[in-house]
Amino acid sequence: MSDLQKPVRTIADLAKIAGVSAGTVSRALAGNSLVNAKTRKKIEQLAREHDFRPNQMASKLRRQKTGVIGVIIPLGHDRHQQISDTFFMTLLGHLADELTEKGYDLMLRRVIPQQDEDWLDRFIRSGMIDGVLVIGQSNQFDRIEEIADGYLPMVVWGNHQEGQRHCVVGADNRLGGRMAAERLITAGAKRLAFLGDTGPFEFAARFAGARDVADRMGVGIEPVSVHLSPDQTGREIATFLAERRDEIDGIFAASDTIAFACLRELQRMNVPVPQQMKLIGFDDLPIAAQTIPPLTTIHQDISAGAHGMVDLLLRRLDKEDTESLVLPPRLVIRGTA
């Protein structure tokens, strides 16, 4: 009942009151089978009574292993939004689930590569994490490639390029881009715009895929740079539409988030969708089914992606040099194209 003894903060404290050595306590608490069952019971009991928690920092330092996986989000092109980007946050949620299940903790870091050249190396070599998941290549493809040469336990969410060296998980963006353009054209569009910054590799691949198809079909398509910060997006799209909406009749938005903003602006301008303007997104966020009209888009399986990333990372922690995982995108036809 009374708790006036000085608190038991270290393994040494506990050892003293248990009448054994620190080594034995450490072994007992680690479930080491070498220690006598009776003394182990006693130590466990004492630990509970005194509400003892071993210091993880010390343990990690000594064992040179942290049980922590770093998750890093590079904000290369768009400084602000993106960590608040629904797609990435949903992916993060699934990653947290998967990692927790495997007994790892997750350390989250947001970085702006422009302000810190060394963002990835610094994190990896901080001694705080056993491996790293990079969410999005942003415009940092080359830096990630460099790191991959000397560091195995890294898996990246992003786009797969022919012959790349880092292990990546992601949808086949180019194929998805083709599907999107095909759909717009099938639905009757003749002059397309791609709404999104083509700096990030994933977006670039989506645009490239769309252009493959547009060129083949003899249809024009042009990229329109759009930023992802919540206030900018709407304004930029509005400006674009105000100036050019008569020149196009089909829009491929680089992500659902952009598509939502675009849809809102189109409604504000009373442009009927899909009659006068076809629109297609990318991601298939849960709410894509609930806009007015519901959004036609390219589906990515986020949950499968998260599962794949963690699976590959764990194998890499076991020194296996795994291949990349490219997931098939899927066209979901709803009401906007």
Partner DNA sequence: ATGAAAGCGCTAACAG
Partner DNA sequence: CTGTTAGCGCTTTCAT
Which residues here bind DNA, judged by CB under 7 A? 9-12, 15, 19-24, 26-27, 29-30, 33-40, 54-55, 58-59, 61-64, 127
In DSSP notation, 142-183 reads HHHHHHHHH--SEEEES---TT--S-EEEE-HHHHHHHHHHH
* Binders in 269-328 for a second copy, by CB under 8 A: 286-287, 289-294
Nearer to DNA, 5 or 33 (CB): 33
In DSSP notation, 43-70 reads HHHHHHHTT----HHHHHHHHT---EEE
Does 113 help bind a second copy (rule: CB under 8 A)?
no
Partners of 73 in beta bridges? 110
Q: Choosing among a second copy, DNA, none, which partner's interface includes residue 27 (Cβ < 5 to 8 Å by kind)?
A: DNA
Nearer to a second copy, 73 or 180 (CB): 73
Nearer to a second copy, 78 or 85 (CB): 85
Instruction: Evaluate whether 154 touches 129 at the Cβ level (below 8 Å).
Output: no
Contacts of 145 (CB under 8 A, 6+ apart): 164, 165, 166
- 69-108 mask for a second copy (x: CB under 8 A)? --x-----------xxxx--xx-xxx-xx--x----xxxx
Contacts of 21 (CB under 8 A, 6+ apart): 15
Residue 214: other Cβ atoms inside 10 A:
26
Least distance between DNA and beta carbon 6 (Å): 13
Q: Choosing among a second copy, DNA, none, which partner's interface includes residue 11 (Cβ < 5 to 8 Å by kind)?
A: DNA
Candidates 189, 260, 265, 312: give the one binding a second copy (CB under 8 A).
260
Strands 330-332, 296-299: parallel, antiparallel or unpaired by DSSP?
Answer: antiparallel
Residues that bind a second copy (CB under 8 A): 51, 53-58, 60-61, 66, 68, 71, 83-86, 89-90, 92-94, 96-97, 100, 105-111, 121-122, 125-128, 230, 260, 263-264, 286-287, 289-294
